[in-house]
Amino acid sequence: MVFKRIFDIIVSFCGLLFIWWVFLIIAFLIKKKMPGGPVFFCQKRVGKDGHLFTMYKFRSMTMEHCGSSVSVFGQSRITPLGTVLRKYKLDELPELWNVLKGDMSFVGPRPDVPGYMDCLTGEDREVLKLKPGITGPASLKYRNEEILLAKVEDPQKYNDEVIFPDKVRINRNYMKHWYFMLDIKIIVYTIIGKDLEEEFLK
């Protein structure tokens, strides 16, 4: 895992150094298209060993949203600009700072709000040994999660009973079969939009 952390530090630092101008453009657009609120969305998430940390994203929702932990495609609380940012994952660029700080890694389980990961029991709690990631094997499988949730009658129930347990299973298997080049493969597949063909996804 030493190489994983070294990779995270170097790539996140270079990313912040070379795309700072993208941050400025997105910040300007948010202020112009979504006035009356902050540029960044900051929220406590569950990290490695169950410790809480503050995760940073570009704001993609209105300030009056209900605060549900499940996002569904087409919801009115997601602004038109926010829809574009989320489609191309641009809202997650500030997480590079979380990676540089050591709160997150490039690859790992997506960090959940308190009430999910901290309620895991038994062997499922093994995933808490991993740093949460910007992307990961479960993220690849559920890259269209918001669209999937929009098709079911009760998105919150479907997430809690189907998607979340499957993500935990995938992330446990990722931890058991981890090797450095798997992380590189996941990052590349995330960028090009390709599905990860690994046994632990099935």
- Quick check: 119 pLDDT over 90? no
Instruction: Give the pTM.
Output: 0.90
Instruction: Provide the number of structural domains found in the chain.
Output: 1
Distance between start and end Cα atoms, the chain: 25
Burial of 49 (0-12, 13-18, 19+ CB in 10 A): exposed
- Cα gap 199→201, rounded to integer Å: 5
Burial of 93 (0-12, 13-18, 19+ CB in 10 A): buried
Two tokens at 190? 């995330």
Task: Find out whether 89 and 41 touch, Cβ atoms under 8 Å.
Answer: no
- Quick check: 73 pLDDT over 70? no
**Band (110; pLDDT cuts 50, 70, 90):** very high
Enclosing domain of residue 192:
2-201
- Quick check: 175 pLDDT over 80? yes
Chain CA centroid to CA 39, Å:
18
